Chains A and B, each alone.
Chain A
Amino acid sequence: MSTRMGWRVATVSAARWETPTARTLTLEVPDWPGHLPGQHLDLRLTAEDGYSAQRSYSIGSAWPGTGPVEITVQRLADGEVSPYLTDVVEVGDRIELRGPIGGWFVWRSTRPAPVLLVAGGSGVVPLMSMIRQRGQVRGRQPFRLVYSVRGPEDACYADELRRRVRDDPGLDVHFVYTRRTPDGWPAPPKRIDVAVLNTHGWPPEFAPDVFVCGPTPFVETAADILVALGHDPVRVRTERFGGA
């Protein structure tokens, strides 16, 4: 830890759309030291005149994974960096990054406790890394993901989640639709609330490790509900993607 964490030049080796507004970039990073699920990296873009902008992105892939590092970026129409990453970057382009960063919002696959994951929008990215890691090591910890999206088309990793619910024993996924529900969904659109987390989370007596990630108001609401339901605040880890 005593060496300066340097910038590396990564090469975009693949890109795919997860939803109409979120894109996954696969990054080949030379000498990547590895990461824990939940960590993020800092990415730096530089314009021709030297102007540069940096943002943080959670790592979505597991380590050691099938390959390099993946991030999933949600486009904010009037943002500076995210529209570049979703709409401009092409396979073969080079991007500077450094990491992995963060040692708190991480899941270690040796922990036996059940895990509750609560995601809002692109907040699912670091939680997906946890789910993938568990799949890779064939972890037996009971895992539940409660994933809030506007509508079915806004869910990242939808096919993979469906496949994993089938193939990874002990993994459970519940969607909350805030604006549009899929056909045949039994309830009208709503936001995450006490009933959802009471029904689809783990009871506090199970002492689960809880990870909540998403936009700030979502994280505030979900974490407040979990504490009110009796979860030990020390076990509830949060990552806020900033903004309002």
Chain B
Amino acid sequence: MGIISRGFGGRRRDSAPDLPPGQYLTHDFPVLSAGPTPRIPPNSWNFTITTETGAEHTWDWAAFTALPAEEVTRDIHCVTKWSKLGTTWKGVALDTLFEEVETAADFVMAHSAGGYTTNVPLDDLLDGKAWIAYEFDGEPLRPEHGGPARLLIPHLYFWKSAKWVRGLRMMHEDEPGFWESAGYHMYGDPWSEQRYHGD
């Protein structure tokens, strides 16, 4: 526990028992990105998984949205301390995409339009833990939230859920992505408050 702040009681509205430490609840949907919002027409979007041997698996929008999709409701947690509970998304599970991919590598770098990257262990994408989402709340995902499609990895801080995702590249060794190179944690578990390097 930190030092007491004289006269601070806190408002604690909506204190929710299921919030990770240090998080507060928000009802709107804050936008955080490093630059302007790219606007990508779905018909010019495609998604590629590149394995460690260089093999590529690509889906265009039509092929992608023809894959079996799931509707999931999950809590999301941003490293800037807001959490949003019970958000509903529709997307393709990474399990579905990886059915077609042969890989022995343990790490993944997600790549987005505009050059953003973020790293994740492959295990954190499989077994029903992650999706490429293209709908939020029953509507097509809006550009400022990563539309036409973003990665959704609800159990990690939300910077891992790369917006405007274009592909995944398999890696044998873990490497830092964009925010990870700027001092953020390599893994980003909200429940252990892994915000910054060394946490």
Contact = CB atoms under 8 A, between A and B. Distances in A.
Contact of A223 (B12, B35, B81, B183): B35
Contact of A242 (B5, B32, B196): B32
A240 B199 contact: no
A243 interface: yes
A240 B33 contact: yes
A46 interface: yes
A46 B198 contact: no
B5 A46 contact: yes
Interface stretch (A22-30, A49-57, A66-74, A124-132): A49-57
Interface string A218-244: 011001101100000110111010111
Given A47-B9, A80-B11, A216-B30, A1 B36 contact: no
A52 to B, nearest CB: 6
Given A84-B5, A102-B182, A3 B34 contact: no
B196 A101 contact: yes
A244 B5 CA distance: 28
A153 interface: no
Interface in A79-101: 79-80, 84, 88, 93-96, 101
B54 interface: no
A96 B3 contact: yes
Contacts of A219: 31
B144 A220 contact: yes
Contacts of A105: 34
Contacts of A9: 3
A127 to B, nearest CB: 16
Nearest to B22: A54
A227 B80 CA distance: 26
Interface in B15-45: 22, 24, 26, 28, 30-38
B115 interface: yes
Contacts of B197: 1-2, 5
A104 interface: yes
Nearest to B23: A54
Interface string A100-128: 01111100000000000000000000000
Contact of A1 (B34, B114, B183): B183
Contacts of A244: 28, 30
Give the interface residue-count category, chain A: 35 or more
A224 B198 contact: no
Interface string B95-123: 00000000000000000001100000000
Contact of A237 (B5, B31, B34): B34
B28 A46 contact: no
A227 B37 CA distance: 9
Given A5-B198, A233-B35, A237-B34, A93 B183 contact: no
18 contacts: A1-B197, A2-B198, A7-B2, A9-B3, A45-B10, A50-B1, A52-B1, A54-B22, A55-B81, A104-B182, A105-B34, A224-B37, A233-B36, A237-B35, A238-B35, A240-B32, A243-B30, A244-B30
Interface of B: 1-13, 22, 24, 26, 28, 30-38, 80-82, 114-115, 144, 178-179, 181-183, 196-199
Interface of A: 1-5, 7, 9, 44-48, 50-56, 79-80, 84, 88, 93-96, 101-105, 216, 219-220, 223-224, 226-227, 233-234, 236-238, 240, 242-244
Given A45-B10, A52-B1, 11 more contacts: A1-B197, A1-B198, A2-B197, A3-B198, A7-B2, A46-B5, A47-B5, A47-B8, A105-B34, A242-B32, A242-B82
